[in-house]
Structure 1
Amino acid sequence: MKQSYSNLLRKMVITIYQPIVTRIELFRSTRMWQKGVKATLAKYKKGGAPRFYMLYDQSHKDWAIMTYDPNRKGMLAYRRLVQLGKWKATRYFKNVKDIKAASYYYTPSKWGAIGCNADNKVRAKKLKQWQEYYMYRVSVPMEKLRSYKKKYGIS
């Protein structure tokens, strides 16, 4: 009897807590993405490279804003990081299309290709992609919630 009450209490607490923490974490992820976009655009305006991609560096818990090809100004470039052996990620990108698909934002190209700002659907898709990644890989409260639910068998 006591066990059933504690299980019901746990389920009730989870049903109250989960929507609140989900909204808070979605808001945090959106704010973090917006700050990353601002930093990417600032780097793009400063110049030097034709296009910048915004990736997330899990080991440093920060944005890795980089170009694909090495450039004259010595800015962070994906191919240069791979050559030096400093790219520690789960996957490597074979071409620009791969890094464009995996990035959470990209600027317009100086040769005419449009960026995420020009198309709202692409921008919304990239934000959604980041929010999903954030909720499962970055957010500590969501990770704790998932482990608690798994521990007590709450679905």
Structure 2
Amino acid sequence: MLIAIYQPIVTRIELFRATRMWQKGVKATIAKYKECGAPRFYMLYDKSHKDFAIMTYDPNRKDMLAYRRLVQMGKWKASRYFKNVEDIKAASYYYTPSKWGAIGCDADNKVRAKKLKQWQEYYMYRVSTLMFKLRIYKKEHGID
């Protein structure tokens, strides 16, 4: 009975936290995009630091964080590697417009909503400790 009251409250709180975290990451990505001269930035989640990693795909002149450079140095530890820009674009939780004309997440609200939903799902199952504890409790007590 108590779980019927507790679960919706925890779910709303965690969705709110996920959304706020995503918004802060988007603001940081846009600020980095305006500050630096890289063509496009991608916002990925770094599990080890529990924060967003804002990076470009190709190495650049200003030695900003670049995905291919991290792979070359062996510092990118992930279950899957990105083979091209389309892969990293699909896996990122936000990306800026390209300096060469390709649109970013802000230009299309459907893409922006899809990326937010993608982040919320990831957050709820991989990041949130409250949701993890709730899933364990439900599993222990056989609640569906």
Instruction: Give the TM-score taking structure 2 as reference length.
Output: 0.99
Structure 2 residue 108 is the aligned partner of structure 1 residue 114: no
Unpaired stretches in structure 1, ≥5 consecutive residues: 1-11
Match of residue 34 from structure 2: 45
CA shift digits 1:8-60 (9 cap, x unpaired): xxxx1111000000000000000000000000000000022100000000111
Q: Is the 8 A contact 1:44 1:52 kept in 2?
A: yes
Match of residue 82 from structure 2: 93
Match of 1:143 among 126, 129, 132: 132
* Structure number with larger C-alpha Rg: 1
Deviation at 1:103, TM superposition (A): 0.1
Q: Is the 8 A contact 1:48 1:72 kept in 2?
A: no
Unpaired stretches in structure 2, ≥5 consecutive residues: none
Match of 1:56 among 45, 63, 72: 45
CA shift digits 1:64-119 (9 cap, x unpaired): 00000000000000000000000011110000000000000000000000000000
Q: How many Å separate the matches in 2 of 1:47 and 1:154?
A: 50
Q: How many Å separate the matches in 1 of 2:130 and 2:91?
A: 25
Taking every aligned residue pair, what percent have the same amino acid on both sides?
Answer: 86
- One-letter identity of the residue aligned with 1:135: M
Q: Is the 8 A contact 1:53 1:100 kept in 2?
A: yes
Q: How many Å separate the matches in 2 of 1:80 and 1:140?
A: 32
Instruction: Give the TM-score taking structure 1 as reference length.
Output: 0.92
